[in-house]
Amino acid sequence: MALSTTHVATGSILGTGLGRKGAEVRWGVAGRMVVAWVITLPAAAAIGATTWMIGAGLNSLTNTQFVGELVVFAILVVFCLWMWRHSQKDAIDASNVTNSWDGEAVAAAEESLTADEAPMDDSAKNHQEALPQKAGA
């Protein structure tokens, strides 16, 4: 059962890969998706319970109704800023989103070429030159 739009989107992509002839499914990626789906609900529950305990505990210690909420809010803002900074280390955009896949494809093609010892004929070279180039290449 899908719990979020992410579950729906990734499930539909996986289903498309399974349903098309000749399509390839990367089962390692699919396995990581399943693990993420399984831990989503318990992790959300644990985080929610922890933040509630911090907020309620601070409110009862200070005999107020807002100190706990402010502290929890500050913790979440700091965590969000840390997560955003961490995401900027290796920014992903349209020019590099498939780099790891392209590297696998290039390595497989080179391995195949080396194994076959077959040079590219003129028609294959012309076809390769006619292919659109990646942005920034």
Domain boundaries, the chain: 26-87
Q: How many residues does the chain have?
A: 137
Residues of the chain with pLDDT under 50: 116-117, 137
Write down the pLDDT at residue 129: 56
Pairwise CA distance, residues 76 & 45, whole Å? 16
Pairwise CA distance, residues 93 & 77, whole Å? 25
Write down the pLDDT at residue 87: 84
Write down the pLDDT at residue 59: 95
Indicate the pTM of the whole model: 0.51
Write down the pLDDT at residue 46: 96
Write down the pLDDT at residue 102: 56
Write down the pLDDT at residue 62: 94
Contact 44, 56 (CB under 8 A): no
Contact 7, 37 (CB under 8 A): yes
Write down the pLDDT at residue 50: 95
Candidates 46, 33, 47, 48; CA nearest to 3 is: 33
Vertex 91 angle, CA 10 and 79, to 5°:
85
| DSSP, res 98 | T
